[in-house]
Structure 1
Amino acid sequence: MMMELIDLPGEHDPTIACRGACARCGGEHVLPVGPAREPALALFARMEREGRIDFDSGEPDPRFSTGYLFGEARGQMFGVLAVRDGKGRTGVLKAFSGQYNSVWEVDGWVPPLLDVKRFRADTFEGEQRIKAMGREIAGLPSDSPVRRVLIYKRKKASQVLMGAIHAMFRLPNFRGEQLPLPLAVHGETGVPTGTGDCCAPKLLGYAALHGLTPLGMAEFYFGRTNRSGSREHGKFYPSCLDKCGRILGFMLCGMEA
């Protein structure tokens, strides 16, 4: 179990941490920051103090140094979900968005919502084909008809691969239901790249699968400011609406009960 047992603070922050319209019931579901801000601040402080995220290993692994987040890769989001288990005990889960330095799973952190081994096996061939087309495109003149055709084929191949990846994500909710990501998305437009792999879906998915009741969530950015300037080190942000907001409604459905 990833849950770290702690006594949660009595003060609850009413600020909305995540929200989304539900593809199942049509309503909107919301989760506040609640009691999660204080343990999130504690996690941030620990990352700054220890300079790594592999807290549960005796010997630090260079791949998990926080120095990585201040380089060319820039920073990423981290999240804490305050929860209560079936015995009434309280605690927290923690997650990072996407992969950490090309690693999907780190001890003590909530895993992704897909089978990593299956992902690697099923996407390897498609990724290699897309990369090969990219190399071929780079070697052709900009006005070449063949280049334009290859660019089109690469785009279509990328869309097919992304659709296959999205179908690998299984999203649970608090009604005991599970759907592949494309069926859990609210709205008619396409599914943005990276949907399902942010902190909030990871945290809520783990909680739903393990009988934990969410009490609040807080997400912060750690590392070098992102290229758009929209994320800064040490600042808290609500879950994004363009990606997470389209699936979190389904994932939060049933939580109120």
Structure 2
Amino acid sequence: MINIFDEEPARLHARYLAHLITKTGFLDFDSGKTLPVKEHGGVMIGVLLGTDRYGNEVLLKAISGQQRKLARYVPHVITDTDFQTHLDTYDALIKNPHNTPFNKSEYSAQALNHYYGLYRFPTIDGSTVSLFECFGNRPIPTGSGDCAAIKLLAYALGNHIVPTSMTEFFYGDGTRSHLGFYQPCEERCAPILKRMLGLYPVYRDKHLLIVDKPPHLRSIPGTVESDSIESRVRKLIPSAPVQCAAHRLDMDTSGLIVVALTKEALSGMHHLFRTQRVRRTYEALLEGILKEEETEITLPLRADITNRPYQVVDHEGGKEARTHVKRIRVEEHPEGHLSRVEFTPYTGRTHQLRIHSKKGLGLPILGDRLYGSGMKSRLYLHAKSLEFT
């Protein structure tokens, strides 16, 4: 997973931190000196810069793993009290010599489930999310919630500290490069950070951020509902332009959306979109069998002024709308035969792909609540790639 924050300021502090650890030989060099580097092996260390509610700059550091308490490092996500209660409850049960193998296995499973339930992560919107909510029906990998980045963000968000920069580096022996900087891992960190931050970044530099928008979320704030990609980015990166989304996706559509981090980048991206120098491709599931392997649709569109937000085909007063369609394959689903297709729009009209699919191909997109049956929890339309120079 891509780190959504600017890493460079935090990396300056991280390099100095690594220098002090090397010089003293202890991870806790500025406190009790109880963790010699030689005995600890390899470890991921994180550094976060932020601003507290009074405008003061705050520097935080964290070590990955289940280390309970280490002076001058942020604490574990699970409090000492909750952890001790957990041990008191399950240790005796599991270690009882009269346990049958079945009972021991049952108690161990209960203990693990209870332990996972102790993880609660603060989010950028002020709520909390559990480990189970982060992973859903997927198995929870061992060590989830113990990574340095998650500890840093949990402490910052739980103590009204606005993060401005964060980085992680590896120190010591192991399969990773000593003093190398690393991004949060996909397996354990990404599902948690995605829920904590409310965004899933796939690319970032000093000028642009590209995020994977989930369905049912607006690209920009509405007149009533303010939650959107723009508002979430602004919470995490206040220096971004107020109207930072370089383009929009329908609320029902998921996929890649470009966010500008500077006014200059926003102006440049708007120029690229206006001059049609951005190539976008979408993947969709259509209700039924598409016979053509490739085709092109040219149906002019306009808003249905008597029935918003619907759009209609209008050969007289509509604006040009053109879409290339490529069939990937036909699939069998419980709903029947579905066609997986790739759309490449050459214009960017509202609901263009949804109407071109329904009116041009005669096959609505699966889950389309406006132009199809809407018999699914989401629209199966995803913006999967962007190309521009």
TM-score by length of 2: 0.47
1:252 is aligned with what amino acid? L
CA distance in 1, matches of 2:93, 2:45: 33
CA distance in 2, matches of 1:255, 1:34: 19
Give 1:67's match in structure 2, choosing from 32, 35, 38: 38
Bigger helix share: 1
Q: Equivalent residue for 2:57?
A: 90
Q: 1:167 to 1:256 in 2, by over 3 A?
A: farther
Percent of paired sites with the same residue: 31
Do 2:150 and 2:193's aligned partners in 1 also have CA atoms closer than 8 Å?
A: yes
Determine if the alignment matches structure 1 residue 16 to structure 2 residue 2: yes
Secondary structure of the structure 2 residue equivalent to 1:243 = coil
Q: Equivalent residue for 1:195?
A: 144
Q: CA deviation at 1:132?
A: 6.3
Q: CA deviation at 1:120?
A: 2.2
CA distance in 1, matches of 2:110, 2:177: 34
Bigger strand share: 2
Do 1:213 and 1:255's aligned partners in 2 also have CA atoms closer than 8 Å?
A: no
Q: 1:126 to 1:53 in 2, by over 3 A?
A: same
Secondary structure of the structure 2 residue equivalent to 1:81 = strand
Q: Equivalent residue for 1:26?
A: none
Q: 1:95 to 1:159 in 2, by over 3 A?
A: same
Determine if the alignment matches structure 1 residue 238 to structure 2 residue 183: yes
List per-residue Cα deviations over 1:44-93 (Å, max 9, x = no partner): 11110111133443xx44x3222212xxxx31111001212233332321
Q: Equivalent residue for 2:43?
A: 76
2:182 is aligned with what amino acid? Y
CA distance in 2, matches of 1:255, 1:51: 40
Determine if the alignment matches structure 1 residue 123 to structure 2 residue 87: yes
Q: Which has the larger radius of gyration?
A: 2
Do 1:187 and 1:246's aligned partners in 2 also have CA atoms closer than 8 Å?
A: no
List per-residue Cα deviations over 1:167-189 (Å, max 9, x = no partner): 11121012111133222x04431
Secondary structure of the structure 1 residue equivalent to 2:62 = strand
Q: Which moved more, 1:242-251 or 1:32-41?
A: 32-41
1:9-158 superposed matches below 5 A: 16-17=2-3, 30-57=4-31, 60-61=32-33, 63-69=34-40, 74-100=41-67, 104-127=68-91, 129-130=93-94, 150=101, 154-158=104-108
The count of residues paired between Structure 1 and Structure 2 equals: 202
Q: Which runs of 5+ in 2 are unaligned?
A: 199-231, 236-389
CA distance in 2, matches of 1:204, 1:81: 8
Give 1:208's match in structure 2, choosing from 146, 154, 157: 157
TM-score by length of 1: 0.69
